[in-house]
């Protein structure tokens, strides 16, 4: 391996068994919502245990930069340039925040971010009264926001099956609009737990809502003084469940995770029972153990937790479980086309992910474990972390561009070392 390749690749070797305690960073999903609420409340809402994820760091810096720019000039001015890199959540949430707060800004990101559609959210914000221009391609970032938000409507209809982040972005700013918001959700709601998380955090800040049928209503309201204590990240926990499932023996303690969590990805504790992994909840967190082999087949609807999809699919494939999955529609517009990425990388261990309308089926008839496998990450943090546990089955797993994990779980490789994995950079 040449010197420049060492900087790009991460080679993993398996431990004999896994017995460790891992302290996970705060939830990125909770942190990003809490930061917007802190800004909208003028600091009345405090936030503790923020995530160390790169996306959250970018969100915090962007809000600080926008606040500094707004305080320096009161009139329409040269817009502040905000580059949120690959942070899709920040792009959606900041769009609503800049629009309703009347911030003069240009919001941009990576080349991949410029390929991720945002037209549904921009159209809704324009209908509400925001002044937003596309600076390059219609329907895609970068976006130019102008000062002066004059609310034109309080009723918005928006599709529920594209991205829950569009809905959350609107709900977060609803109480700050002069006439509030009546959000009418069209069709099936994707990732409902993320919307419920948003409303629960708003409630912690004194913001009431009504949810009747497919309509969520929020009146203009003042924030109550509140402290949001961010729970550790259940999405990050999912990789440890996969490690437990692929191990011969495992006992992993993850402090401070809650049984009654706001995070939809806490469903991983139930999903992984099918893979022989049991979860014990105690006052200080959870303990996960390998208790058996689980079933070899299964049906998993991941509509409410699509961020678990790569973890569960790769784990199923490595165990030879010919499972079927649904609810994966949003995966094609994430950091990469995650369906295509999974198909490409699973083929390296002889597994096919077959798409049949809205069902996805694993064919493990050709499953094999070569002495070494190189995994491409496609600039996607979840590809790196979902495939890393393969090191428990493949003698050497090489993860290309391993530092993409900084997007959501910066200490991932260090934590794997604590668990006994041999890692060479």
- pLDDT tier at 76, thresholds 50, 70, 90: low
What CA–CA distance (Å, rounded) separates 11 from 24?
22
Q: What is the CATH number of domain 3-24+232-424?
A: 3.65.10.10
92 CB-near residues (< 8 Å, 6+ apart): 118, 121, 163, 165, 166, 168, 169
For residue 401, which of 420, 383, 417, 422 has the smallest C-alpha distance? 383
pLDDT (tens digit per residue) in 190-227: 889 999 999 999 999 999 999 999 999 999 999 999 99
- The residue extents of the domains of the chain are 3-24+232-424, 28-229
What CA–CA distance (Å, rounded) separates 358 from 345?
21
As given in the structure block, the two tokens for residue 375 are 């995994």
Catalytic residue among 307, 363, 380, 415: 307
Q: Do the Cβ atoms of 105 and 80 come closer than 8 Å?
A: yes
Task: Tell me whether residue 1 is exposed, middle or buried, using C-beta atoms within 10 angstroms of its C-beta: 0 to 12, 13 to 18, 19 or more.
Answer: exposed
Helix (H, G, I), strand (E, B) or coil at 38: helix
Check if 83 is active-site.
Answer: no
Asked whether this chain's domains 3-24+232-424 and 28-229 adopt the same fold, the reply is yes
Strand partners, 217: 182, 210
pLDDT of residue 123: 97
- What is the topology classification, in CATH, of domain 28-229? UDP-n-acetylglucosamine1-carboxyvinyl-transferase; Chain (3.65.10)
Through-space distance between the first and last CA atoms of the chain, rounded to whole angstroms: 10
pTM: 0.88
C-alpha dist (Å) from residue 418 to 11, 129, 232, 238, 247: 16, 52, 18, 17, 16
pLDDT (tens digit per residue) in 333-372: 777 899 999 999 999 999 999 999 889 999 999 999 999 9
DSSP-based helix, strand, coil % in the chain, nearest 5: 40, 25, 35
Helix (H, G, I), strand (E, B) or coil at 388: helix
Strand partners, 21: 253
């Amino acid at each position: 391996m040449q010197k420049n390749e060492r900087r790009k690749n991460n080679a993993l070797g398996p431990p004999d068994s896994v017995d460790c305690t891992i302290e996970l960073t705060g939830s990125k999903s909770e942190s990003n919502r809490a930061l917007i609420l802190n800004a909208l409340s003028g600091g009345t809402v405090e936030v503790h245990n923020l995530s160390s994820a790169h996306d959250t760091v970018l969100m915090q810096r962007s809000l600080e930069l926008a606040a500094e720019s707004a305080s320096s000039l009161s009139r329409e001015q040269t817009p502040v340039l905000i580059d949120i890199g690959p942070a899709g959540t920040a792009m959606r949430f900041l769009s609503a925040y800049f629009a309703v707060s009347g911030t003069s800004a240009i919001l941009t990101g990576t080349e991949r971010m410029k390929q991720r559609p945002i037209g549904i959210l921009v159209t809704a914000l324009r209908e509400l009264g925001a002044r937003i221009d596309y600076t390059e391609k219609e329907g895609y970032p970068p976006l130019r926001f102008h000062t002066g938000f004059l609310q034109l409507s309080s009723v918005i209809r928006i599709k529920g099956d594209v991205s829950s982040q569009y809905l959350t972005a609107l709900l977060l700013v609803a109480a700050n609009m002069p006439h509030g918001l009546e959000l009418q959700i069209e069709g099936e709601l994707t990732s409902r737990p993320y919307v419920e998380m948003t409303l629960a955090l708003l409630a912690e800040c004194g913001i009431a809502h009504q949810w009747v049928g497919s309509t969520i209503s929020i009146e203009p309201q003042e924030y109550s003084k509140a402290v949001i204590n961010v729970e550790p990240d259940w999405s990050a926990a999912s990789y440890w469940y996969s490690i437990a499932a692929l191990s011969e023996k495992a006992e992993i303690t993850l402090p401070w995770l809650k049984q009654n969590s706001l995070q939809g990805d806490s469903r991983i504790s139930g999903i992984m029972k099918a893979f022989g992994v049991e979860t014990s909840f105690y006052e200080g967190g959870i303990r996960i153990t390998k208790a058996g082999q689980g079933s070899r087949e299964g049906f998993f609807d991941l509509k409410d937790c699509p961020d678990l999809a790569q973890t569960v699919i790769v784990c199923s494939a490595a165990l030879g479980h010919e499972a079927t999955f649904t609810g994966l529609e949003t995966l094609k517009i994430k950091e990469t086309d995650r369906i295509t990425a999974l198909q490409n990388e699973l083929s390296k261990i002889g597994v096919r992910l077959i798409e049949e309308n809205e069902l996805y089926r694993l064919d493990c008839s050709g499953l094999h474990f070569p002495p070494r496998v190189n995994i491409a990450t496609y600039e996607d943090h979840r590809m790196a972390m979902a495939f890393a546990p393969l090191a428990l089955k493949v003698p050497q797993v090489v993860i290309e561009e391993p530092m993409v994990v900084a997007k959501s779980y910066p200490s991932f490789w260090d934590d794997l070392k604590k668990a006994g994995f041999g890692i060479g950079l």
